[in-house]
């Protein structure tokens, strides 16, 4: 009888020991992630972002710097097209730099607080913590969450799958999915370093513009060939192209596409103007908010969306379209050839 009691006590102790050494719960991991964001002074991360929104995948190298609480530097580079773009946030505001055009635009914006950001650690943690229906699983050496996104201007990407390394709780992969659960944006982190140090000028507009132009030199106006006109692959039902007009400008041609029907909008394309070196320190103020299109960062307001890509300036204007519809049309213009 005494032996059986001993065996029972040993068994209970073993169960308790195994339970104590088991996997962390979802609440435990979320709490640990939130604590990590609260205690960190900043980080540096690198990775690769793949977009599936066009006819062919587009791959970008991304580098993220964050210095708490509000300094950011996100560098987005397409090595195949030799073009890069950078978004900076410092005490003066939010800036979008396009080194190849020697241009910088300034916004009065609360970016990145106003929307999900697939490449920012603290944004991912915030989305997880704010979703009471978030799904959680522990797979080998990873924790995987599936949550709702918070894209203010794009309801077509409602879900994301976020993977963290178990040991360090650093992000390893993010998949942003459409309504059919197809991953349209995939971010793969190759490095993530917490509590790094930064130079005094790490978030300075002029310094970053200069250093970026060493890697991606400013375009030469005389070397550019005429651009091919691009047409949206997606547009609202009942909308058709009703007029196409070409105008000569000092920089080349300007093409104006007018669409009408159930809703109307205008799409203007023209050779991008390259700012003179003397104006490098001047940033143009933009109304609206930065719009992350994936392949580039534009500016969106209630009635217009502007962006630059591959040496061409685009402007989409409409009193009828929602911001979500403008973003969908803009993304469908890129990643395909002109007619």
Residue 241 belongs to domain with CATH number:
3.30.200
Does 251 lie in the same domain as 159?
no
Q: Which residues contact 78 (CB under 8 A, 6 or more apart)?
A: 58, 59, 60, 61, 84, 295
Sign of CA dihedral 152, 153, 159, 162: negative
Does 258 lie in the same domain as 123?
no
Does 229 lie in the same domain as 206?
no
Does 227 lie in the same domain as 190?
no
Residue 338 domain-assigned (yes or no): no
Does 189 lie in the same domain as 47?
yes
Burial 263-294 (b: 16+ CB within 10 A, else e): bbbebbbbbbbbbeeeebeebeebebbbbbbb
CB-count burial class (<10 Å; 0-12, 13-18, 19+) for 188: middle
Residue 86 domain-assigned (yes or no): yes
pLDDT tens digits along 91-132: 999 999 988 888 889 998 889 988 899 999 999 999 999 999
pLDDT tens digits along 192-237: 999 999 998 999 999 999 888 777 666 665 556 788 999 998 889 9
Residue 11 domain-assigned (yes or no): no
Q: How many domains does the chain have?
A: 2
**How much is the pLDDT for 50?**
92
Does 198 lie in the same domain as 228?
no
Residue 50 belongs to domain with CATH number:
2.50.20.10
- Mean predicted lDDT score pLDDT of the chain: 86
DSSP labels, 86-126: EEEEETTEEEEEEGGGTEEEEE---TTTTS--TT-HHHHHH
């Amino acid at each position: 009888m005494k032996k059986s009691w001993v065996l029972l006590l040993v068994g209970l102790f073993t169960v308790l020991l195994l339970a104590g050494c088991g996997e962390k719960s979802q609440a435990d991991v979320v709490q640990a992630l939130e604590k990590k964001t609260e205690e960190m002074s900043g980080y540096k991360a690198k990775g690769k972002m793949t977009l599936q929104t066009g006819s062919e995948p587009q791959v970008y190298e991304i580098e993220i710097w964050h210095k708490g609480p509000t300094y950011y530097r996100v560098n987005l580079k397409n090595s195949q097209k030799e073009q890069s773009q950078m978004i900076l946030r410092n005490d003066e505001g939010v800036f979008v730099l396009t080194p190849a055009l020697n241009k910088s635009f300034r916004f009065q914006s609360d970016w990145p607080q106003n929307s999900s950001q697939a490449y920012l650690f603290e944004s991912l943690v915030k989305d997880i913590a704010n979703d009471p229906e978030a799904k959680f699983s522990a797979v080998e050496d990873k924790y995987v969450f599936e949550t709702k996104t918070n894209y203010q201007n794009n309801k077509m990407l409602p879900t994301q799958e976020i993977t963290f390394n178990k040991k360090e709780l650093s992000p390893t992969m993010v998949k942003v999915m459409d309504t059919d659960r197809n991953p349209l944006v995939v971010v793969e982190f190759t490095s993530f370093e917490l509590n790094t140090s930064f130079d005094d000028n790490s978030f300075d507009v002029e310094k970053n513009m200069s250093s970026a132009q060493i890697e991606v030199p400013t375009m030469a106006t005389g070397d550019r060939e005429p651009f091919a006109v691009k047409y949206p692959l997606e547009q609202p039902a009942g909308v058709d192209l009703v007029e196409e007009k070409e105008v000569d400008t000092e920089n080349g041609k300007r093409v104006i596409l007018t669409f009408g029907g159930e809703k109307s909008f205008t799409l203007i394309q023209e050779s991008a103007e390259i700012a003179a070196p003397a104006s490098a320190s001047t940033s143009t103020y933009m109304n609206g908010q930065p719009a992350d299109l994936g392949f580039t960062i534009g500016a969106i307001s209630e009635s217009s969306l502007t962006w630059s890509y591959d040496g061409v300036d685009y402007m989409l204007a409409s009193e009828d379209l929602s911001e979500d519809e403008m973003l969908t049309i803009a993304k469908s213009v890129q990643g395909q050839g002109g007619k």
